[in-house]
Structure 1
Amino acid sequence: MKKSYLLFMAMLAFTLIVHAQTANDNPRERLWQTFLTPPDSIRVGCYYYWVNEQVDPKGVVADLEWMKENGITLAFLATDIRNRTTSDNPWEGQAFGKNKFQSRLWWKNLRTALKTAGRLGIEMGLFNCPGWSQSGGPWVKPEEAMRNWTSHGIEVCKTKEGTDVMCSPCSPDAQGLEVDKLSKVHVQKHFEAFIGEILRRIPQKDRPTLTTVVVDSWERGKQNYTDSIFSKFRQRYGYELDYTNPDCKKDLDRLIADLVASEYMGGLTEKAHQYGLRTWCEPYAHSPFPANSITYGSAADEVAAEFWVGDRKFRQKEVDAALGSARRSGKNRVWAESFTDGWPELAKDDWSFEKLKPIADRYFHAGINASILHVMISQPGDDSKPAVRPWFGTYFDRRSQHASDLKPLVTYLRRCNFMLQLGKPLDGANDCRILSDGTVICFTDDSLFEVTFPDGHQELWNPMQGITTTGME
């Protein structure tokens, strides 16, 4: 028995070696195997939100282990999201926990998250301010904030309701003025006050996989003034800026758009690079946008679109902004914040693989080739406590009633992301790629990959290969 077993093991080892050599020598087989099991560099990520200060260390560890178990190896953490039940009265019915902004527990939870992510091999990003939009905090002084010239003088920018423009939506202790987007000095001071402080307080050994600074879509309106606006205007156009002269408006708008790209996004990217980090941004707006999406997005290291579950219309604006930025600046990856929704009647825990797959496919055809799930909400470490449920997003967390569909969904997205990131776009087509050896890969209307090899041989590869989900045959 012992000799027979040893002979069997020797034959098995020989077979595996021959198979591995054959796969390595056969480009088709090598591509097929990598398609089935993409490399670790192909990461499906998630927005990871801490909502209403209801966060504890045990829950943070469980959150990240849940991500890893289901194939999510990239998480963008927003630390201080505030929930709300209605738009008219956002504070009604809100309960807050003990994870107060920059409290001892807050720092413990953040260190736990970054250290656990390192242990699990999950790449991490941090939103560049409390909340998700845009860039602000309690450290921003009025003279460093977004400001407008008015007939009454220089004023901090205000919302239509009349309150100062602040980072949002975030918990009370974390909220503060939005920083001046036309001043690199003020922007980089903001960076140091939040991201810089985190990097100083948490040593590199406890954050080995922290790589990214995140900037979400623009939701903070416009500004038209900064300290040096008059000199910058004169230097560029050769005449004096006069806010009361309507003939100045076109030149002023162009200058502001360029400054938002160079001073704000460029300033964040420059500072991030000094710390060995990169920037990731969504170069479009959900409010009046004072910038040009293409130049703005080109100033970041990575760009993303966004798409929703319940919205039947195609989000052309968001896709064009991200795709255009990527093409102009030579970026291969075009991300999408995926499966967003909002308000109590739209935030979902009734999702399924079958429901979400065709939505993703539509955006793969449009040029999206990297996926960030929206959203993963931190849940209490004690599962007997009620789940934390916000007004936005599709609930992918470990308390979701469709948790068993997450791993198949992630597997499917990773395979599609892998194939659509290969090579370069073929003749400008968003859903066709060409490899250096001439192999052409196209994502078909049937959600299959048509692979045409250099000798003309064609095959159809199914990204659903071997994937099973609850309720599917």
Structure 2
Amino acid sequence: LEFAMHNCPGWSSSGGPWITPDKAMQIITWSETKITGGKQVRIQLPTPKHMFDYYIDTYCLAIPANMKVIPRLSILELSNRLDKDGVLTWDVPTGEWLIMRFGQTAKDQKNKSAPSKSTGLDCDKFSTEALDYHLNCMFKRLMPTMEKIAKHSKIGLLIDSYETGDQDWTSDMPAYFEQSHGYELYPFLPVLANKIVESEESTKRFLFDFRRVRADMFAERYYGHFQKRCKEKGIITYTEPYGGNMMEELQVAQQLDINMGEFWCGQTVLWANYKYNRTVKQVASIVHTLGGKVVGAEAFTSEPDADKWLQYPYALKSLGDYMFTRGLSRIYFHRFAHQPHPTAAPGMTMGAWGLHFDRTNTWWKPGKAWIEYLNRCQYIFQSSTFYGDILYHNGDDSFGSTIEPEQTLLAPPEGYDYDMV
């Protein structure tokens, strides 16, 4: 048997009660104060909104208060004139000015879904130190045993589908941004407050660069560092590389060992919802690009009202067959619940979530024929090489969800297959 577990309580993403606000996901926050120039001022600036009594000043900027488009050279950096209590002392030039006090605070984002005693803040995805702290706290008792087993068996850790939202800041964000793009971040901070700097064109270019930095930090410092830590311990990494708007999914997927999509079943799931299942095809494209053979998927997940022991092999076979045509080569059944009682039926569940893939199910023994069929299919696809007809470029601004070509005017002709990059 191979054994893998999620990297924190719940299924998303990397957090717990040990994460303190300084190690949690960070967001930028600001306050605005208008003043009239031509005099010296000593003024208490309002503290921007923040969470958990945690706030750190980052920048203090002055911009002309009456310009719709703000010239970049008119933005003044006043951080060294702001004291630790938020009091600004400044000889104000003539005119009307808007003082913007920027800072960082923790995002109120918790790991989910986990027992209440195991729920806490989710760690900073742009900080390797925060991820290290999380992993050390989570696995301090488990890791010695896992390392021993990993020497002669297969042990894995998973980052499931990402469902804990975006972040837009970390302590060294300005330095990382400047190193990546060759210009300073701070003059464009007003853009994050929905203002236009220099021109609409320049503002759009900055927003693209900012999204690019977020995606790079997310891939390198979260997924990439997770892979590094696990590889040091001989542990295999798994992920469902999608969710949220700050990741480039194809970039994230290349960081870990085994990538998985997902597909759902049940009476409430319409054919249109899974015919163009983007996650399985997306993961297949990455695996093909990297020369791999294992295209995994969380398979046959059922909604709360969809299963109730109503699903059976014949009802599931066509969906599984279709996913094989999308590139699937390894099935991870969602779900199998341990049945400790020798006679209780239908037995233990995982709450409302199916598929009820258990020895207590009425079709368990005759269902062996379906399992043997799935095994043959998986063997064939893991032993084969994919040949596509078309390669789709997903776009330079491909942050967030990838787009299925079938849902566009560029859909492949009937009978042709493709990969995405």
Q: Structure 1 length normalisation: TM-score?
A: 0.59
Answer yes or no: is the 8 Å Cα contact 2:299–2:334 preserved in 1: yes
What is the CA–CA distance in structure 2 between the aligned matches of 1:238 and 1:375, rounded to whole Å? 49
Answer yes or no: is the 8 Å Cα contact 1:182–1:264 preserved in 2: yes
Answer yes or no: is the 8 Å Cα contact 1:148–1:225 preserved in 2: yes
Residue 155, structure 1, aligned to residue 34, structure 2: no
Residue 251, structure 1, aligned to residue 209, structure 2: yes
What is the CA–CA distance in structure 1 between the aligned matches of 2:151 and 2:309, rounded to whole Å? 32
Residue 132, structure 1, aligned to residue 11, structure 2: yes
What is the CA–CA distance in structure 2 between the aligned matches of 1:368 and 1:271, rounded to whole Å? 28
Q: Which moved more, 1:359-368 or 1:315-324?
A: 315-324
Structure-2 change in CA distance of 1:144 and 1:315 (3 Å)? farther
What is the CA–CA distance in structure 1 between the aligned matches of 2:315 and 2:363, rounded to whole Å? 12
Residue 322, structure 1, aligned to residue 286, structure 2: no
What is the CA–CA distance in structure 2 between the aligned matches of 1:414 and 1:350, rounded to whole Å? 23
Aligned to 1:424, what secondary structure does the other structure show? coil
Residue 165, structure 1, aligned to residue 112, structure 2: no
Structure-2 change in CA distance of 1:143 and 1:347 (3 Å)? farther
Unaligned 5+ segments in structure 2 are 31-47, 49-102, 193-202, 392-413, 415-421
What is the CA–CA distance in structure 2 between the aligned matches of 1:282 and 1:193, rounded to whole Å? 23
Residue 337, structure 1, aligned to residue 298, structure 2: yes
User: Which of 126, 131, 147 is the matching residue for 1:182?
Assistant: 126
Greater C-alpha radius of gyration: 2
User: Which of 235, 239, 248 is the matching residue for 1:292?
Assistant: 248
The one-letter amino acid paired with 1:185 is: E
User: Which of 318, 331, 356 is the matching residue for 1:358?
Assistant: 318
Cα offset for 1:393? Answer: 2.4
Answer yes or no: is the 8 Å Cα contact 1:306–1:315 preserved in 2: no
Map residues 90-105 of structure 1 onto 2, 5 A cutoff: none
What is the CA–CA distance in structure 1 between the aligned matches of 2:213 and 2:247, rounded to whole Å? 9
Task: State the partner residue of 1:7.
Answer: none
Task: State the partner residue of 2:239.
Answer: 281
Cα offset for 1:224? Answer: 0.5
What is the CA–CA distance in structure 2 between the aligned matches of 1:234 and 1:380, rounded to whole Å? 57
User: Which of 191, 200, 220 is the matching residue for 1:262?
Assistant: 220
Cα offset for 1:398? Answer: 2.7
Unaligned 5+ segments in structure 1 are 1-121, 158-163, 431-444, 446-473
Map residues 404-443 of structure 1 onto 2, 5 A cutoff: 404-427=365-388
User: Which of 368, 371, 392 is the matching residue for 2:328?
Assistant: 368
What is the CA–CA distance in structure 2 between the aligned matches of 1:189 and 1:331, rounded to whole Å? 32
What is the CA–CA distance in structure 1 between the aligned matches of 2:367 and 2:328, rounded to whole Å? 20
Answer yes or no: is the 8 Å Cα contact 1:298–1:328 preserved in 2: no
Aligned to 1:351, what secondary structure does the other structure show? coil
Number of positions where the alignment pairs a residue of Structure 1 with one of Structure 2 = 301
Answer yes or no: is the 8 Å Cα contact 1:352–1:405 preserved in 2: no
CA deviations on 1:43-99 (whole Å, 9 max, x unpaired) are xxxxxxxxxxxxxxxxxxxxxxxxxxxxxxxxxxxxxxxxxxxxxxxxxxxxxxxxx
CA deviations on 1:112-133 (whole Å, 9 max, x unpaired) are xxxxxxxxxx111111111111
Richer in helix (by share)? 1
CA deviations on 1:113-163 (whole Å, 9 max, x unpaired) are xxxxxxxxx111111111111111122111111121122232322xxxxxx
What is the CA–CA distance in structure 1 between the aligned matches of 2:231 and 2:131, rounded to whole Å? 14
Identity of aligned residues (%): 26
What is the CA–CA distance in structure 1 between the aligned matches of 2:294 and 2:350, rounded to whole Å? 31
The one-letter amino acid paired with 1:371 is: I
Task: State the partner residue of 1:50.
Answer: none
Q: Structure 2 length normalisation: TM-score?
A: 0.66
Task: State the partner residue of 2:78.
Answer: none
